[in-house]
Structure 1
């Protein structure tokens, strides 16, 4: 694929997965897996945690990263990620991190790469569990499938939820759960239903 064939919104193969291009800057692309590639807990213990210390970050930058061959690794660009506090509840986002592979933040998903719904993020309505309910025009852009199914599947973001034993997630219908799901057991109402993982990374083109 030649440079001029890379376009924001298009898909591309890399490392055995299909990725969607979210952004292109300086001959590099921000890409995210088109589908949920697996289900994992955000952390391996029920305790206050931020992205910097969580088990899912360790996995993505260790075991998952090491699945790529040397040539592919040479194209992955480590970046500094900002990890902001939760806008509604004030739970701590933690320190900035250097990541080769990462999850997107709520700001990246809501304001930048899946349409701009920033006004809803900044203006919380009354009694909202998800601020979108089913009315946000960008919900459909955030839906991801796991093994061909999308209803009932959801995927993690790296941002903290209402408290630091929860992390924000994208619901199966594209709503954003800003309160978060349990970092260890995911959605308690579904039993031990672990969240979906959609890795993201910056790639040299």
Structure 2
């Protein structure tokens, strides 16, 4: 999987997307031709295409590209994975971190692939609940471990800047498959990441 840089996305911005941003600016009562806003439609279009690049990426192929046979059957945890996404309801950012664990069943995955899977699903219009589910299912279906656990904690700008305007609220979502349905295994995972959840 080749990740495109911001500059590569600059070449793919369509006139339609730029036009939409221009109409938004004008709809807000601003002059889209004034000096500070002349290039804003193009900049905003480029930024939006970068922030939604996950639609053109395949998370399953990322996992499958780095699976290795290994006789290891203890818990593997990658925690504090930074994530940035856009709420599909208001198109405002939400951001935080993901903690992922799996128990191998004869094969492991390159550790860098797990944060990349997070990025693929985060770089789409999302809700945190679906983001958690998508990451969980992708790992479960393609790595086929004995169990998978995903916990995401994030702050949502749609709650912080508008609506209830609660700047300190954090939303936590979780998902568990296989061996992590066992309460002892689940608690071991939660204990190992507990320093990050308090």
What TM-score, normalized to structure 1?
0.25
Q: Which has the higher helix share?
A: 2
Higher relative contact order (CA 8 A, sep 6+): 1
Rg larger for: 2
